[in-house]
Amino acid sequence: MARGFHEPGDKPRRFYGAVSVASMNGGFTVMLDGRTLRGPKGAQTVLPNAALAELVAEEWAGQGEHLALAAMHATRLANTAIEAIPQARDATAQQIADYAASDLLCYRASEPAGLVARQQERWDPVLSRAEAEIGLRFIPVSGIVHQPQPQETLERVKALALELDDFGLAGLAFGVPLFGSAVLSLAVQRGWLSGEAAYDLSRLDEAWQEEKWGIDDEAAERTARLRGEAIMLDRWFAALS
């Protein structure tokens, strides 16, 4: 029986050699030296298709002498989808709707003019598509004063989340705080935007500041790490589709 995704704050030694994918229980699992990967609660890591299993297997195969567990985001998503989401689907969907109530794309800068124009140019098409294709009407506002969003929009966001299977819902919930936006996470899930494009849209303000003042090493490291998570999420949704 293979160990699963344990001790996220540590870097234990790699305890396996070969990583492979095998069919199991109508789906596919990851094998470590021929033993089934399991999650923190002991559930077998059974994914719905080979592509998703390969994504998780790639993380395990890419580890060195020590396991960088905290950076294994596809594995974490798989564990969440299998061991947590089934018992918390409604609560998870509600959290996504709550994020939509203060969605990043709705809060615009009041100045400088260049940033205001950039947000309008790049965010408005995403909101327009969300309204046209999936019935989400949002009300943008300038400044930080809270703008209540239509209740029917928030209910629709929750309904869209609940339409997804456990693996899709886990991915959507992962993307919402990553982007600060339920709309951007839905855009990636539906294939309107790549994960990297959505991440770049989510940090227009930061990019504007970097253009004016430069970027330090710590900020650059954080940006690279989060962009990597966004790219992984894009691959997650692509594998599901």
Q: Which SS3 state, helix, strand or coil, does residue 224 take?
A: helix
Q: What radius of gyration, in Å, describes the C-alpha atoms of the chain? A: 19
Nearest to 52 by CA among 207, 238, 177: 238
**End-to-end C-alpha distance for the chain, whole angstroms:** 30
Is pTM beyond 0.95 here? no
68 burial type by CB count under 10 A (0-12 exposed, 13-18 middle, 19+ buried): exposed
Q: Where are the beta strands (DSSP E) in the chain?
A: 19-24, 27-32, 35-36, 46-47, 107-108, 141-142
- Phi, psi values for residue 105, rounded to 5°: -65, -10
Q: Hey, which residues does 22 pair with through a beta bridge?
A: 29
d(Cα 173, Cα 89) in Å, to the nearest integer? 10
Q: What is the pLDDT along the chain (241 residues), one digit of tens a residue?
A: 333 334 445 689 999 999 999 999 999 999 999 999 999 999 999 999 999 999 999 999 999 999 999 899 999 999 999 999 999 999 999 999 999 999 999 999 999 999 999 999 999 999 999 999 999 999 999 988 899 999 999 999 999 999 999 999 999 999 999 999 999 999 999 999 999 999 999 999 999 999 999 988 899 999 999 999 999 999 999 999 9
- Reading phi first (left if > 0) and then psi (alpha if -120 to 50, else beta), residue 162 is in alpha
Residue bearing tokens 């077998």? 44
Rounded to 5°, the CA angle 179-180-181 comes to 85
* pLDDT tens readout for residues 158-200: 999 999 999 999 999 999 999 999 999 999 999 999 999 999 9
Q: Which residues pair with 31 in a beta bridge?
A: 20, 36
Please, which residues have CB within 8 angstroms of residue 197's CB and are 6 or more apart in sequence?
none
Q: Pairing state of beta strands 141-142 and 107-108?
A: parallel
